[in-house]
Amino acid sequence: MDSGVRPGPIAQHGNVAPSLRGLRAALPEWWPVLAGLALLFGPTFYSLFTGAWIGEEQGHGPIIYGLALWLIYRKWPAMLAASTPPRASWAGWPVLALGLACYLLGRSQKILMLEIAAIILVMAAVLLVKRGAPALRVLWFPFFFMLFMVPLPAEVVAALTMPMKMAVSWATEHILFFLGYPISRSGVILQIGQYQLLVADACAGLQTLLTLEALGLFYLNLMRHPSAFRNIGLAIFIVPISFSANVIRVIVLTLVTYYLGDAAGQGFLHGFAGMVLFITALVLILAIDSALQWHIRRRAQRTPLRTKEAA
C-alpha cells in the first residue's frame, strides 16, 4: 500500500511542484478510491450545486469545500511522510460504517445535514484505512474546516436567528436615526420614508458568522502565528466583526432603497451589498490582526526594558 513516495525532499518543501509530483506518484494507488467516492457522492454534489449551494444561506458550502481540498493538496506531502510506511487503522472501519449509514439515511430522507456530514466521515474513514491515524493527524484541520459546510438543524437556526435579526434591526435604526434619516422600526421591519424593509434571515448574521469564523480560522491556519494571544484574540473578534459587517450590509440596503427605490434594493444592488459585507469583514479582520500584532510587538519591546530596570 506504499505509494512509492519517500519522505525526503517532498516533506521538506511546501511549494506546488513537490505537491503535484506527490499526487501524481500516488495516483495509481488512489484513483480507484477517488472513482468510488465520485460515484458514491456524485448525486449529492449534483443536488448541492443545483440546489442548496446556489442559495444565499448555504452559498458558502462550495467555498469551504474547495478550500478544504486545497489544504489537503497542500499538506499531502507531509501526510505521506508522516504515514510511511502506511499502517491501516482499525478505527477506520466503524467510521466508514457510520458515514455510510448517515449517507443512506440522509439521502433517502433528504436530510442535508446527514448527507454532507457523511462526506466528511467517509473521507476520514478512507484515510484511516489507507494510511492510518498519523495521516489523519496531519490533515486534521482540513477535516475540521469542512464541518463549517454542514448545515445546522432548523430548530437551532430559528432559535439563534431571531435575536440576531432584532439586534441588527435595532442597530440599523439607531445609526440611521442618529444620521438624520426618517426611520422607525417595528420588530424586524424597518420603515424609512415610504418604504418598508424586512430584515430577512440571510441578513441576520448566523450564516455570515459561521462563514467568517471559518474563513478567519483558515486565515490563522495559513499565517501560523506563533502567538496564542493573537490567534485566540482574532478568533474571538470574528463574532463582533460579523455583527458589524451585517449591520453595514443592512444600512447599505436601506439607503439604496431610500434613494433608488425598492427595485434597486432587491435587484443587483442586493447582491452587491453582500459583497460589501465580506469586503468590510475582510478589512476588519486584517485591521484587528494588525492591531493585535502591534500590541504583541509593543509588549515585547517593554519586556526587555522592565528586565533591565529590575536588574
203, three cell numbers: 441578513
CA dist 53 and 149 (Å) reads 10
Catalytic residue among 107, 185, 203, 230: 203
User: Do the Cβ atoms of 214 and 205 come closer than 8 Å?
Assistant: no
Q: Per 3-state DSSP, what percentage of the chain is helix, strand, and coil (rounded to 5)?
A: 80, 5, 15
Q: 74 an active-site residue?
A: no
User: Do the Cβ atoms of 145 and 64 come closer than 8 Å?
Assistant: yes
Within a 10 A sphere around the Cβ of 46, how many other Cβ atoms?
10
Within a 10 A sphere around the Cβ of 269, how many other Cβ atoms?
17
Write the CA distances from 68 to 19, 62, 232, 273, 309, integer angstroms.
Answer: 15, 10, 21, 27, 49
Pairing of strands 195-198, 189-192: antiparallel
Which DSSP string do the residues of 259-294 spell out, in sequence order? Answer: HH-HHHHHTHHHHHHHHHHHHHHHHHHHHHHHHHHH
CA dist 87 and 278 (Å) reads 43
183: part of which helix (H) or strand (E)? strand 183-186
Catalytic residue among 131, 185, 230, 249: 249
Q: 203 an active-site residue?
A: yes
- Catalytically active residues, by annotation: 203, 249
